[in-house]
Structure 1
Amino acid sequence: MHRRVYLAAVGTAVSAGLAGCSSAISTGGSDPCSGEDCHIGMNRTEFLPDVYEISVGETVVWKNTSEADHTVTAYDNGIPAAADFFATGGFENQASARHAWQGQRGGRLGPRETFEHTFEVPGTYEYFCIPHERAEMDGKIVVSE
């Protein structure tokens, strides 16, 4: 009888300890987005998928599929020279996006919110999440002709 009480207590403690540690959508490493709803999802510290391939003129939709706040912020030196900078919050460059996040969480993409950008210039676009950059939350969009 004591063993059952012990196991029940341990199981409850483990469950409580893990609560909130997973993304809202359990992906098991797979892509939480497909189709029209979104193309790239987000868990606690990853864009899913982290590399996405499209053609010129296509629009990519990111969706925050986790419970954490995120940003989608292009690296100034990680996009083609003729390409438009993109970031949640509509900032003109990486420094402005960082400053806004640090001041008032500007560019915040809350749970279930989406952000979209249309890619008009071929090349590779590198981007990241400001609050999770140290956790290496970054991604790439590869745009072909």
Structure 2
Amino acid sequence: MNDSFAFDPKRLTVSSGTTVRWVNDSEVGHTVTAYADGIPAGAPYFASGGFESERAARNDVSGGLLAAGEAYERTFEVTGSYDYVCIPHEGSGMTGTVVVE
């Protein structure tokens, strides 16, 4: 995350089995939260903070915040497109996509 309110890159394409690492390099706290309806069928849900659903992540935003310098990792096994958001900055358009081939 280079820009304080954007994922960089906004769209990332990886091979199945790849671990993606998000690092917060801004001074502002951010989340990495999958949209429940934005991941492939059969793929496990993901969110910083270890939440098992989008609702749980939205109900405890502070529990998923990555402070400056903190990171979140996820290994993607199921092919398809995964849309995600930073909950506190969703209104600023802070969304991203991981495409797994």
Please give the TM-score of this superposition, normalised by the length of structure 2.
0.97
Q: Greater Rg, structure 1 or structure 2?
A: 1
Cross-structure match for 1:107:
64
Task: Give, in angstroms, the shift of residue 118 of structure 1.
Answer: 0.2
Indicate which of 66, 85, 89 corresponds to 1:132.
Answer: 89
Percent identical among aligned pairs is: 50
Cross-structure match for 1:43:
3
Aligned AA (1:131): P
The alignment status of 1:118 with 2:75, answered yes or no, reads yes
How far apart in 2 are the matches of 1:54 and 1:42?
Answer: 20
Cross-structure match for 1:19:
none
Give the superposed CA RMSD: 0.7
Structure in which a larger fraction of residues adopt helix: 1
Q: Which runs of 5+ in 2 are unaligned?
A: none
How far apart in 1 are the matches of 2:65 and 2:60?
Answer: 9
Per the alignment, in what secondary structure is the counterpart of residue 30 of structure 2? coil
Paired residues in the alignment total 101
Please give the TM-score of this superposition, normalised by the length of structure 1.
0.68
Structure in which a larger fraction of residues adopt strand: 2
Task: Give, in angstroms, the shift of residue 42 of structure 1.
Answer: 4.2
